[in-house]
A = this chain, B = another copy of it.
């Protein structure tokens, strides 16, 4: 992803292509897997804390990024897929955190799981999984 493309992405969502936003998008892009808040802050340092806070907020609100994991103290952020837009987030995937390498990734489960709670109106499902990732098992 080039800086030019990120700029388009932001403009499509009525967001100005500012330095902090491009820095964040580049950081997330390079990081490959979901990026913990602490790593984002280090990478973008010396960014103003409030600016980072609002940058994350606006990008989340516009369906560009999403929180991928929030057990533990460090919150992980990841890019949304094409299914997410300014109107709504649409995530059918799960979030996997490896206890060995501490990496958080967005994964598509083989069988799409259907949760049934009779009498309830289910609007959003978040699934966080912990275990050992493929790479750490093979290695």
Contact = CB atoms under 8 A, between A and B. Distances in A.
Interface stretch (A5-13, A14-22, A50-58, A105-113): A105-113
Contacts of A71: 67, 70, 126
B127 A123 contact: no
A126 B126 CA distance: 8
A126 B114 CA distance: 15
B122 A131 contact: yes
Given A99-B123, A125-B130, 12 more contacts: A109-B117, A111-B114, A111-B115, A115-B129, A119-B134, A120-B131, A121-B131, A123-B131, A123-B132, A124-B130, A126-B128, A126-B130
| Residue from the set A71, A131, A137 with the largest chain B CB neighbour count within 10 Å | A131
A129 B122 contact: yes
Contact of A113 (B67, B114, B124, B134): B114
Contacts of A110: 116-118
